[in-house]
Amino acid sequence: MQTLDAPVEDYNKQVPYRVMVVDDNDIELKLYANGLAQHFTMVFAKSSKQAWDLLNCAPLPDAIILDIMMPNEDGLALCDRIKENQFTKDIPIIFISALTGPTIKSQAFEIGGADFVTKPPMVAELVARINRHVKVYRKTKRLESLIFIDPLTHLPNASKFREVLKQEWSRCARYWHHLSLLLLRMDNMGQYKIDHGKEKYYNLTASIANGLSDIGGRPGDMFASLGNDTFALLLSDCSSDGALLKADEIMKRFKSPNFVVKEHLNARHVTCTIAISVAAPAGGGDSSQLFEQADDLLFEANQLGNGKIYRKDEILGVDELNAKDSQAPDDRRM
């Protein structure tokens, strides 16, 4: 899973830029390998499908060299998909093609291409273009890290979460996907802070965040820190059953003897309460309803009992009119 952006200091390390080349021609891939490998860390894909699979595996490239003419899905269609994804949309894409007409060039730039190079490329010129685009990209990411990264947990903060929630709602509405949200509240943290002081409280919060940061599992999943001892896990294209399985996985991890709250004797009374909300955005409504439903469940958990999983039977946008009133904790699935 992507945690959005790395801390600022990661961008200051002098490491080669990572460049992905997508081209179905073996000879041209070898030319790129011979000409660019001494300047960059190279990743190669021979099809749009292979490129998309690689983009769903960390680490992401700093730039993509993309051939336009490819079988099945061409470069323009792949670029369109890349620009729709929250975690890949800012990666600079340099189109490369033997086609030089104004129509194809305008299409490339309209869908988000950063540059257009005619085949065969001059290696020195291509290296210079890559360096220029990646420098701008990394500078943008550094600035974004200062704005959207929680300095304590190094996770996306509440502002970034709200932005991504709206974007994913729109994307899931377009493709008729489900969108699931899990709100995780760390219970009894306030008392821990009173008993042991702010420094140990901050250390425990950071340790919990680190222990759960990879819980999403998929590159597109977002795990964010919302403050007030609450985290959010946003799962695109995830059904109600999938969300419940993920909540169960979180509970098992939290109760593991090797998890941070079990390793510290003074933190063993800290528990986790999870609220699940699922929507079918294509059915209507807006992203705020998804958050409000999960937030309401967390509030009701104060009376019903902490340390459990709560969810609504309804899926927003599908069966709101037939929703059941029962909100009992899902103990049998914990």
pLDDT for residue 282 is more than 70 = yes
Angle CA 201–146–86, to nearest 5: 100
Amino acid at 318: V
Could you tell me the residue ranges of all domains in the chain?
8-148, 158-333
pLDDT in tens, 285-324: 899 999 999 999 999 999 999 999 999 888 998 854 344 3
**Highest averaged pLDDT of the listed ranges 11-20, 85-94, 221-230:** 221-230
- Nearest CA to 308 out of 259, 247, 234 is that of 247
pLDDT for residue 278 is more than 90 = yes
Least confident of 50-59, 76-85, 303-312: 50-59
pLDDT for residue 329 is more than 90 = no
| pLDDT classification of 141: cutoffs 50, 70, 90 | confident
Report, as an integer, the average pLDDT of 168-191: 94
* 319 or 75: which leads in pLDDT: 75
pLDDT at residue 2 in the model: 44
* 7 or 123: which leads in pLDDT: 123
pLDDT for residue 150 is more than 90 = yes
Question: Measured between alpha carbons, how far is 267 from 113 in angstroms, rounded to an integer?
Answer: 50
pLDDT at residue 265 in the model: 67
* 124 or 321: which leads in pLDDT: 124
Report, as an integer, the average pLDDT of 96-115: 92
pLDDT at residue 250 in the model: 96
pLDDT at residue 295 in the model: 96
pLDDT for residue 5 is more than 70 = no
- Nearest CA to 292 out of 184, 150, 181 is that of 181
Residue 239 burial by Cβ neighbours in a 10 Å radius (0-12, 13-18, 19+): middle
- Nearest CA to 82 out of 99, 95, 69 is that of 95
pLDDT at residue 1 in the model: 44
Report, as an integer, the average pLDDT of 69-97: 91
pLDDT in tens, 247-261: 999 999 988 888 888
pLDDT at residue 261 in the model: 81
Question: Measured between alpha carbons, how far is 28 from 251 in angstroms, rounded to an integer?
Answer: 50
Mean pLDDT computed over every residue of the chain: 88
Domain spanning 8-148, CATH architecture: 3-Layer(aba) Sandwich (3.40)
Report, as an integer, the average pLDDT of 28-50: 93
HEC string of the chain equals: CCCCCCCHHHHHCCCCCEEEEECCCHHHHHHHHHHHCCCCEEEEECCHHHHHHHHCCCCCCCEEEEECCCCCCCHHHHHHHHHHCCCCCCCCEEEEECCCCHHHHHHHHHCCCCEEEECCCCHHHHHHHHHHHHHHHHHHHHHHHHHHECCCCCCECHHHHHHHHHHHHHHHHHHCCCEEEEEEEEECHHHHHHHHCHHHHHHHHHHHHHHHCCCCCCCCCEEEEEECCEEEEEEECCCHHHHHHHHHHHHHHHHCCCCHHHHCHHHCCCEEEEEEEEECHHHCCCHHHHHHHHHHHHHHHHHHCCCCEEECCCCECCCHHHCCCCCCCCHHHC
pLDDT at residue 175 in the model: 87
Retrieve residue 71's tokens: 């079988």
Report, as an integer, the average pLDDT of 129-134: 96
Question: Measured between alpha carbons, how far is 285 from 317 in angstroms, rounded to an integer?
Answer: 7
pLDDT for residue 47 is more than 50 = yes
Q: Which CATH class is domain 158-333?
A: alpha beta
pTM: 0.71
CA 208 to chain centre: 19
pLDDT at residue 9 in the model: 43
pLDDT at residue 266 in the model: 80
* Cβ partners under 8 Å of residue 190, min gap 6: 229
**The residue to which tokens 């309804």 are assigned:** 314
| pLDDT classification of 332: cutoffs 50, 70, 90 | very low
The torsion angles phi and psi of 315, rounded to 5 degrees, stand at -110, 115
* 129 or 11: which leads in pLDDT: 129
Least confident of 6-20, 25-39, 57-71, 148-162: 6-20
| pLDDT classification of 14: cutoffs 50, 70, 90 | low
